[in-house]
A and B are shown apart, each in its own frame.
Chain A
Amino acid sequence: MPLPLNYYDSSGIWSWAKLVELWRFRELLYTFFVRDLTIRYRQVLIGVAWVLIQPALSMLIFISLFGLLKTRATADGSQYASDAAVVFLGVWCWQFFASALRDGTGVLVNYRHVITKVYFPRILLPMASVLCALFDFLIGGFVLVPILWITNCTIFWNHIWAIPLLVVWMVLLCVACVAWLSSLNATYRDVGYALPFVLQIGMYLSPAVYDASRIPERWMTLYQSNPMASIITWFRWSLLGGPAPSVIATLAAIGVTALLLVSGLAWFERSERLMADRI
């Protein structure tokens, strides 16, 4: 069967053909993912153990800090047996988000020697960074087992089904953010400089190291329309049985994610055409 004559021009809109093309390039996504992982753990003595140490250590530091300040991560009278699992869940999710954004933002600039030499859907590069962060996130989850065991917490099996949905939500949120950040960073390097600072602020605006129950009730809906705030709170709900965010806040958070995703992919598509010229 003869191959079709495929036309392309300067217009950049998301279309069905784009999705078909992405599917055709799925092996490249896998290759980028494997490459990022291999490079990360080459010439590293303890290898994957870093992924386990990072969230565990952060959690210990914050727990100790709360101990010194004679306070708790959760509000008084909360049903959690111990703060350790609560803080770990938050730090664990946040580190996934932060490392996906950190790696994804610079990836187009780091691979500009490839971008200016060969064509492929550029979105694959930031997507591979997200996959890499997801891999670390899933491995890091194993630290939960000893934490729950030591602190005598019980897992709330009734809500466990929500976890995969939350992970998918978080991945989509990361893709949305890196689509924006990486393409902006290709033209304006300021994005890369501003990001660590913004991530630090973001961490305190999300219930990463404390529980959302510490937030005053009248700010709650606004606070939890931040997708990461909602996701982390839902995570605690599904694993530890904490209070769930309100429906309105959750819908708002999903709306924010969807908006970011659609606009991010559209923007990426637009800037993709000029990427090789501008980067």
Chain B
Amino acid sequence: MNEIAIHVDKVSKCFKIGSGTEYARLTEALASNIKAATKLIWHKTKSQIRRVDNLAVDKACDSRRDGNTFWALRDINFHVHCGEAVGIVGGNGAGKSTLLKILSRIVSPTSGRVGVRGRVGCLLEVGTGFHPELTGRENVFLNGTILGMSRREIRRRFDEIVSFAEVETFIDTPVKRYSNGMIIRLGFSVAAHFEPEVLIIDEVLGVGDAAFQAKSLAKAKEFRDEGRTVLLVSHYMPSVIEFATRAILLQDGSVVADGDPAQIVDMHLLQNTKDQY
């Protein structure tokens, strides 16, 4: 078996809900920090009791609410080995995007830990950090370094990036004069020429039309065939079956199944139809 590329270890993430007022004032925030700290100490000493409490709450509400906290993810555990292409499926609000954000370190888990080998590339949204006043060239360098490329790497692949995006003649024009299509093409081109050890693709959040979605899937396949690790989140089940070597089904913030893509997709679709009727 290959080495482990991603290790998700007892990861939970909770959000405060309906509490715009709780953190509104500095004094209240300080007070609630102190409260949280004492709670933590309490929690550690009384963890046994606490766990029983949680179970009780779960049964009572049958949902992910716990007072005014909402568990987007609860106790997620899995490994991904190097070279695997894993599809993550689940209904709306199952926690897919939160999981991706934790894996790419944008948000940190409430508890548990995540281990990743190498750099994580994220196709959550293309053109992150593009500034309208900067030229195409300057934006390629800005966007590339934000994604995690080195300037040398960008310089080396600059011509490829520009020609892939088909914006050669406008490369020294400020991006504010670009069409939307050109901006998306350039942003995608930068992301596509980044070669991280782990690539995360969220088709749900991906901007652009069908052609663009097809392009990003093609990119993912290229990555998979090179033997890199790819995580794909999609609502379009055929592409999961076609692309992934393994799938994970998330439901209400927990992993409910992990295995062969075709079987997982069937389970997911069955679950969906059950929910509808």
Interface residues of A (CB under 8 A from B): 2-10, 12, 27-28, 30-31, 35, 38-39, 42-43, 111, 113-120, 187-188, 190, 273-274, 276-278
Contacts and interface: CB of A to CB of B under 8 A. Distances in A.
B26 interface: yes
Contact of B150 (A27, A114, A119, A273): A27
A9 B9 CA distance: 10
B131 A39 contact: yes
Identify the 4 closest CB pairs spanning chains A and B, nearest first: A9-B113, A119-B105, A273-B108, A7-B115
B128 A114 contact: yes
A35 B107 contact: no
A120 B125 CA distance: 16
A116 B107 CA distance: 8
A278 B145 CA distance: 25
A277 B122 CA distance: 18
Q: What is the size category of the interface that chain B forms with chain A?
A: 35 or more
Contact of A7 (B26, B101, B113, B174): B113
Contacts of A2: 3, 117
Interface in B100-141: 101, 104-118, 120, 122, 124-125, 128-129, 131, 133-134, 138, 141
Nearest to B121: A118
Given A10-B110, A31-B145, A187-B23, A4 B117 contact: yes
Contacts of B120: 119
Contacts, number: 102
Contacts of A42: 133-134, 174
A7 B6 CA distance: 10
Given A10-B109, A10-B111, A276-B106, A114 B134 contact: no
A9 B112 contact: yes
B31 interface: no
16 contacts: A2-B3, A4-B117, A5-B7, A6-B117, A9-B111, A31-B142, A38-B134, A39-B134, A42-B133, A113-B129, A116-B106, A117-B124, A118-B129, A119-B120, A187-B23, A188-B26
A197 B202 CA distance: 44
